[in-house]
Amino acid sequence: MPSADDFRRLALAFPGAEENSHMGHPDFRVGGKIFATLGFPNDEWGMVALLPEQQAMAMEAEADSFMLAAGAWGRDGATLVRLAQVPDSWLERTLGWAWQNRAPAKLKE
């Protein structure tokens, strides 16, 4: 299962990805937009910004690995990732979706 370092390495591998900080924990941005975070609600979790259909697919496939973030954030696609549970393939897939959802068109070419 991936570690926080694996999450960070994968997130930063995407074109234009940068690490920053948001509300006291690391975030990963592309084109100034957050596509993933680490360490919320604690060090055992990450978050990927998915579309509702992507979120549903991830949660159906790996119910022990993914859950909605609280409130409107979750309804809008913020999906928590339990690092100790998520298979590498699903972490890579969902980080890719999150990057794709937020990346400017010029980086997707």
pTM (2 d.p.): 0.95
What total of structural domains would you count in the chain? 1
pLDDT at 39: 93
Rg of the Cα trace of the chain?
12
Each residue's pLDDT expressed in tens, for the chain with a length of 109 residues = 899 999 999 999 999 999 999 888 999 999 999 999 999 889 999 999 999 999 999 999 999 999 999 999 898 999 999 999 999 999 999 999 999 999 999 998 7
pLDDT at 22: 82
Take residue 65 and report the two structure tokens written for it: 């690995």
Give the domain range for residue 17: 4-108
**Domain CATH for 92:** 3.90.1150.30
pLDDT at 40: 86
